[in-house]
A and B are shown apart, each in its own frame.
Chain A
Amino acid sequence: MDTELLTGFSEDSLECLEGIEQELLALEEGRNSDETINKIFRVMHSIKGSSGFFGLQAIEKISHHGEELLSKMRDKAVPLDTTNIDVLLNTVDQVKLMFGDSNWGEGFDNGALLDALDQCIHQQYGETNDAIVNTHFDKEINSSARLAQESHHNLIIENLPEQIKIPDTKQQPIAVETNKTLSAPKNIKNEPSTIRISVNVLDQLLELIGEVVLGRNQLVSQLEGDRTFNGLSTSITKLHRHVIQTRMQSIGSVLEKFKRIVRDLSKQLGKEIKLHIEGGDIELDRTILEAFSDPLTHLVRNACDHGIELPSERSKNGKNPCGNLYLRTYHQSGQIIIEVEDDGKGIDPVKIKESAIKKQVLSEKEANSLTDKELVELVFHPGFSTKEETTSISGRGVGMDVVKTNFEKLGCVFDVSSKSGAGTLFQARMPLTQAIVDSSVISGLIISLGKHKLAIPQLAVNEMIRLVPQERSKSINNIKGRDILTLRDTLIPIIRLEDTLNTPRIYIDPITGEVCPERRQSLTDRRKNTLITAFETGQRIIADRRIKSEIFIILQYKQDHFCIPVHKVVGTEEIVVKKVPKLIKYRKVFDGTTILGNGEIVTILNINGIVEEAALDFQQARSHKNLQQIANQVEPDETQKLVVFENAENEFFAIPVQLISQVQKVMVSDLKQAGSREFIEMHGESQEVIRPENKVNLSPIKDESSKRIVIIPNIEDPIGMLGRKVIDTIEIDEEKISGRAQEEGVVGRLFYKDKLISILDIFSMLGILQKDVSSIEVDPTIEKSRILLVEDMLFFRHLIQSYFESFGFRNITVARNGKEALDILNQMSGGFDLIVSDVEMPEMNGYEFVSMVKSDPNYKNLPVLALTGLAGQENIKKGLEAGFDAYEVKIDKFNVIQQVIKLLTAQILG
Chain B
Amino acid sequence: MQYATFMLNEYMFGIPIFLVQEFSKPLPVSSIIGHDERVAGLLNIRGKISVVIDLERCLGLKSDDTVLTENPKNHEKRMIILETQDTLTTEAKKLGVEGYSEPLVLLVDSIRKVITIETQNYYPPPAHIKEKYVDGVVKHNNVLLTILSINSLTKDLSREWGSQNITEN
Contact = CB atoms under 8 A, between A and B. Distances in A.
Contact of A588 (B43, B101, B104, B166): B166
Contacts of B102: 581-583
Interface string B36-56: 100101111001011101000
A581 B30 contact: no
Interface string A599-619: 111110000000000000000
B22 to A, nearest CB: 18
Nearest to B39: A583
A454 interface: yes
Contacts of B103: 581
Contacts of B1: none
A585 B35 contact: yes
Contacts of A497: 33-34
A348 interface: no
Contact of A586 (B34, B49, B154): B34
Nearest to B161: A585
A196 to B, nearest CB: 24
Contacts of A589: 34
A468 interface: no
A593 B49 contact: yes
Nearest to B37: A503
Given A583-B51, A601-B43, A449 B33 contact: yes
Interface in A490-520: 497-498, 500-503
B33 A501 contact: yes
Nearest to A211: B47
Given A452-B32, A503-B33, A586-B34, A581 B51 contact: yes
A578 B33 contact: no
A595 interface: yes
Nearest to B164: A586
Which of B32, B35, B101 is most buried by chain A, counting CB atoms within 10 A of its CB?
B32
Contact of A585 (B34, B44, B53): B34
B158 interface: yes
A553 interface: no
B141 interface: no
A589 B158 CA distance: 16
Contact of A587 (B41, B43, B47, B165): B165
Contact of B31 (A287, A451, A502): A451
Contact of A498 (B34, B50, B51): B34
B157 interface: yes
Contacts of A600: 30
A587 B30 contact: no
A454 B32 CA distance: 9
Interface residues of A, number: 36
A583 B158 contact: yes
A291 interface: yes
A582 B101 contact: yes
A599 B43 CA distance: 9
A498 B33 CA distance: 8
Given A501-B33, A601-B43, A587 B164 contact: yes
Contact of A584 (B35, B43, B47, B101): B35
A538 B21 CA distance: 68
Nearest to A606: B166
Which of B33, B158, B161, B168 is most buried by chain A, counting CB atoms within 10 A of its CB?
B33
B4 to A, nearest CB: 21
A602 B30 contact: yes
Contacts of B32: 452, 584, 603
Interface string B141-169: 00000000000001001100100111011
B165 A291 contact: no
A23 to B, nearest CB: 32
Contacts of A583: 39, 51, 53, 102, 104, 154, 157-158, 161
A584 B33 contact: no
Contacts of B31: 451-452
A92 interface: no
Nearest to B46: A211
Nearest to A448: B33
Interface in A374-391: none
Contacts of A602: 30
B49 A595 contact: yes
A14 interface: no
A215 B41 CA distance: 21
Interface string A176-218: 0000000000000000000000000000000000010011000
A581 B34 contact: no
Secondary structure dominating the interface of A: mixed
Contacts of B47: 211, 214-215, 595
Interface string B64-87: 000001000000000000000000
Nearest to A207: B47
A454 B35 CA distance: 13
Which of A211, A581, A586, A587 is most buried by chain B, counting CB atoms within 10 A of its CB?
A581
A453 interface: yes
B51 A453 contact: no
A629 to B, nearest CB: 37
A501 B34 contact: yes
Contacts of A586: 34-35, 161, 164
Contacts of B49: 578-579, 581, 593, 595, 601
B166 A582 contact: no
A585 B101 contact: no
A584 B39 contact: yes
Nearest to A581: B51
Interface string A849-885: 0000000000000000000000000000000000000
A453 B39 CA distance: 17
A453 B165 contact: no
B116 to A, nearest CB: 31
Given A583-B158, A584-B51, A595-B47, A454 B33 contact: yes
Interface string B2-34: 000000000000000000000000000011111
Contacts of A215: 47
Nearest to A585: B161
Contacts of A582: 101-102, 158, 165, 168
Contacts of A500: 34
A214 B44 CA distance: 11
A586 B164 CA distance: 6
B44 A595 contact: yes
Which of A214, A587, A588 is most buried by chain B, counting CB atoms within 10 A of its CB?
A587
Interface in B100-129: 101-104
A568 to B, nearest CB: 14
Nearest to A287: B169
A585 B30 contact: no
A451 B30 CA distance: 9
Interface string A427-452: 00000000000000000000001111
A593 B33 CA distance: 12
B86 to A, nearest CB: 12
Contacts of A599: 44
A547 to B, nearest CB: 22
A803 to B, nearest CB: 53
A907 to B, nearest CB: 61
Contacts of B42: 581, 593, 601, 603
Interface of A: 211, 214-215, 287, 291, 409, 449-454, 497-498, 500-503, 578-579, 581-589, 593, 595, 599-603
Task: List 10 tightest A-B contacts by C-beta distance, closest first.
Answer: A501-B34, A601-B30, A452-B33, A601-B42, A503-B34, A585-B161, A211-B47, A583-B51, A581-B51, A587-B165
21 contacts: A214-B47, A215-B47, A449-B33, A497-B34, A503-B35, A581-B42, A581-B49, A581-B50, A583-B39, A583-B51, A583-B158, A583-B161, A584-B32, A585-B36, A585-B164, A586-B34, A587-B161, A588-B164, A588-B166, A601-B42, A601-B49
Given A584-B51, A586-B34, 20 more contacts: A211-B47, A215-B47, A450-B33, A452-B31, A452-B32, A501-B33, A501-B34, A501-B35, A503-B33, A581-B49, A581-B50, A581-B103, A583-B154, A583-B158, A584-B39, A593-B49, A595-B44, A600-B30, A601-B30, A601-B49
